Amino acid sequence: MGFSSVTTIRACADVAREFGKEYMIDLLEVPAERIRVLGEAFPEAVFCIHLPSDRQGEGLAELVRSSVRELSGVRKIAAAGGVTLDTVPLLKECGIEIGIVGSAITKSGNKRETAARFAGAVRM
């Protein structure tokens, strides 16, 4: 979590490097200034722009665009919270490499079909 101390995040980063793995810093409710600090301190991390679930996707576009600006120079960005088929083009446009999809699939009537539609949208 991005609100953790830099010392804690650094310890997690060290363990990930030791095992040759990536690590993700979740930015749920993390202010812009802190995002800039984390981006500079941990440019090799995967940063997850995360909209709170109670917002049900409302404001995701603005959050993604502003967070991407704050994270310039980082290697990889993910997005979570309100990711739908309609937001896939935005994520691609903004250079988001990872879209974490939850309720758009789990609450759909046909989970397999919805997941396949996401896979298709990502590949387009």
The pLDDT tens digits of the residues spanning 59-106 come to 778 888 888 888 888 989 999 988 899 989 999 999 898 999 999 999
Give me the pLDDT at residue 73, please. 85
Give me the pLDDT at residue 55, please. 61
Ordered DSSP codes for 45-60: SEEEEE--GGGTTTTH
What is the 8-class DSSP label of residue 30?
A: -
40 Cβ contact partners less than 8 Å away, ≥ 6 residues apart: 73
Q: Does the structure show a pLDDT above 90 at 54?
A: no
User: Residue 53's pLDDT band (boundaries 50, 70, 90)?
Assistant: low
pLDDT, tens digit, for every residue of 8-42?
A: 999 999 999 999 999 999 999 899 899 989 999 99
Give me the pLDDT at residue 66, please. 86
Give me the pLDDT at residue 50, please. 87
Give me the pLDDT at residue 81, please. 86
H and E: helices and strands count for the chain: 6, 4
- Quick one: average pLDDT of 103-117? 95
- Domains of the chain (ranges; CATH) run 6-123 (3.20.20.70)
